[in-house]
Structure 1
Amino acid sequence: MLGAAGIAHFALAAALLMSTMPAAHAAKKAQAKSHDESAATQSQAASGPLPANAVARVNDVLITQDQLEEALRASNVPDTPTSRAGVKNQLIARELFRQAALKAHYDTRPQVIAIVEQAKALAMTQAYLRDQVKPAPVTDADVKAKYDAVVATLGQNEYKSSVIAVKDADTANKVLAELKKGTDFAQLAKQYSQGPNAAQGGALNWISFKTPITAGNTQNWPQPLAEALVKLPQGAVSSTPVQVGDAFWIVRVDQERPTQIPPFDQSKDMLRKQLEQVAVEKATAEVVIDLVKNAHIQQ
């Protein structure tokens, strides 16, 4: 028999299942439970001692020690007698919910069937891509070449800046007028900016440019904005809005210093991950291209 604590865990498990499980996760659970219908291999008489590998029996279905260990790892909580009891009660609750739903024929409901089919399609697709996508290996030489290429784009100085980006010149001029009155830049960024990191007051990471600035060597910054930035002394704000496309930018140099180039050993792991991601994307694109060539697609 389970006491009040066990019942509380059941209620918690129900609430978690209803309120926090995203659709994709729910689909995976539904698919996993569909396999559990074959639990005749687990099924035991509803009475008598538990087998050595079981921690509970819910009607005629066993909850195994392996299931408990897996659920405990997934819960990411400290392994204590209390947490083990809590996770076990949640597993019992979930099995009770599953059995009740099955008894009420929820497995035949269209929305449940659709979720199971979505989970099956997702699992098949992921397995197919794992087998078919063969990214080129990233070598140590590739990583060093990437490091050298990045270093070659850096200038003598680097800048810590903040920006405010708005959609029209009138708003930009209004912001500049407020700045001249002494209004805090970060406050105005939070109020008006539609640019990056507006919620953080428009503050950006350190950036360095080779000067004179040339097209394609601006670290993904808009060239007019990069040109405005390097002309400003530390603490200064652009005196006029910088137009980039349909947006008007105001930039401030928060700090300026000689460029700090991290040693290769500190950068190589991050660069390797970036190169590996690019290799995966390239290999995936190649698979897509081959599939498109052999497909009839009407739009």
Structure 2
Amino acid sequence: MFKQTFAAMAVSLFCIGLLLGCKGEEAPKMSVASDDSGEYARVNDAVISNNDFAEFAKAKRESQPEVTFTDKAITDEMIATEILRQEALNAGIGNRPKIIEQIKRQESNILINTLMTEKFADLKFTDEELKTEYDRLIGLSDASEYKARHILLQTEDEAKVVIEELKGGANFEELAKAKSQGPSAPNGGDLGWFKAETMVPAFADAVGKMETGAYSTEGVNTRFGWHVILLEDKRTTEQPAFDDVKQNVQQSLTRKTIENYVDELEGKATITRSDETKKTAEAESKEG
């Protein structure tokens, strides 16, 4: 779970650039002084160097290439930002524990982003590698889609009562409206069409074993509660062509590469988990 979460975050940071937003005005761009370390502007005792301006302006213009930003507009924004930053510090906001924690998280994101960029910026895969990964993913993917309703209850005993009512001829949709404690209750427990992998494992396993038109004769337990399921229909979908999902396959390989990298780092690290953390991890692992 940790590796998947870390990898997903790393891929996200690796793939998504810094977005800076502000309206610009149509005008020619002015040149920046060649002395990178020189003073470009000053706000009280804080110096904005030529290099500070050049980097900010570059990021600004690259993030919104359709807009022409003047040097004056960018300078005004930098000055306004610095004024507000100083005002926030003077107000003691920077000393608040929650703010300090947020700053630490931002620092972590920047560090990880830089690490991922330097480590994997040149990461490339051959068409053969991509095709192999595509075949693997297709093999893992279930082409089946299911249309089902469910009645969500808090206890197994409640599920047993509902099943007995169904055996007695009760209408599933009406029972769902009356007794289900899930968000789909007003719609008679309708879940629409879905793939098994989008559901928690216990629910997916139960649906995969059911016949169309049948309801579960035992309650299905998940972290959400106890489910009584009615499988209304199922169909087989066409698998996507390689060229249509090539980018997704590349992301999958990138994620695997990062997960392997995290595995390597974990192997070198000394990690201690509390008993409560271990119990939580075990419970999540059983749930899927």
Contact 1:237 1:253 in 2 (8 A): yes
Q: Return the offset for 1:238.
A: 0.8
User: Secondary structure in 1 aligned to 2:240?
Assistant: coil
Q: Return the offset for 1:119.
A: 5.0
Does residue 1:180 correspond to 2:170, yes or no?
yes
User: How do residues 126-141 of structure 1 correspond to structure 2 at under 5 angstroms?
Assistant: 126-128=113-115, 138-141=125-128
1:203/1:65 Cα in 2 relative to 1: closer, same or farther (>3 Å)?
A: same
Q: Report the Cα distance in structure 1 between the residues aligned to 2:39 and 2:45, rounded to whole angstroms.
A: 14
Please, which runs of 5 or more residues in structure 1 have no aligned partner? 1-38, 47-56, 209-217
After superposition, give the CA deviation of every residue in 1:60-105 in whole Å (9 maximum; x if it has no partner): 869958746745766x697389xx9998765553232234456x48
Give the percent of matched residue pairs that are identical in Structure 1 and Structure 2.
13
Does residue 1:250 correspond to 2:240, yes or no?
no
Q: Report the Cα distance in structure 1 between the residues aligned to 2:218 and 2:141, rounded to whole angstroms.
A: 26
Q: Return the offset for 1:240.
A: 2.5
Contact 1:101 1:107 in 2 (8 A): yes
Q: Report the Cα distance in structure 1 between the residues aligned to 2:66 and 2:178, rounded to whole angstroms.
A: 44
Aligned match of 1:286 in 239, 246, 264?
A: 264
User: Secondary structure in 2 aligned to 1:162?
Assistant: strand
Q: Return the offset for 1:276.
A: 1.8
Does residue 1:79 correspond to 2:77, yes or no?
no
Aligned Cα RMSD in Å?
5.5
User: How do residues 1-299 of structure 1 correspond to structure 2 at under 5 angstroms?
Assistant: 41-43=39-41, 67=56, 70-71=59-60, 79=67, 91-101=78-88, 104=90, 109=95, 119-120=106-107, 123-124=110-111, 126-128=113-115, 138-152=125-139, 158-164=144-150, 165-173=152-160, 177=165, 180-181=170-171, 183=173, 192-193=181-182, 201-203=190-192, 205-207=194-196, 224-229=205-210, 231-232=211-212, 236-244=213-221, 247-292=225-270
Q: Report the Cα distance in structure 2 between the residues aligned to 1:238 and 1:58, rounded to whole angstroms.
A: 73
User: Secondary structure in 1 aligned to 2:239?
Assistant: coil
1:260/1:186 Cα in 2 relative to 1: closer, same or farther (>3 Å)?
A: farther
Q: Return the offset for 1:133.
A: 7.7
Q: Report the Cα distance in structure 2 between the residues aligned to 1:150 and 1:108, rounded to whole angstroms.
A: 47
Contact 1:238 1:250 in 2 (8 A): yes
Q: TM-score, length-normalised on structure 1?
A: 0.50
Q: Report the Cα distance in structure 1 between the residues aligned to 2:258 and 2:219, rounded to whole angstroms.
A: 37
Contact 1:162 1:204 in 2 (8 A): yes
Q: Report the Cα distance in structure 2 between the residues aligned to 1:90 and 1:188, rounded to whole angstroms.
A: 57
Q: Return the offset for 1:288.
A: 2.0
User: Secondary structure in 2 aligned to 1:172?
Assistant: helix
The code of the aligned residue for 2:67 comes to D
1:90/1:252 Cα in 2 relative to 1: closer, same or farther (>3 Å)?
A: farther
Q: Return the offset for 1:143.
A: 3.0
The code of the aligned residue for 2:247 comes to D
User: Secondary structure in 2 aligned to 1:205?
Assistant: strand
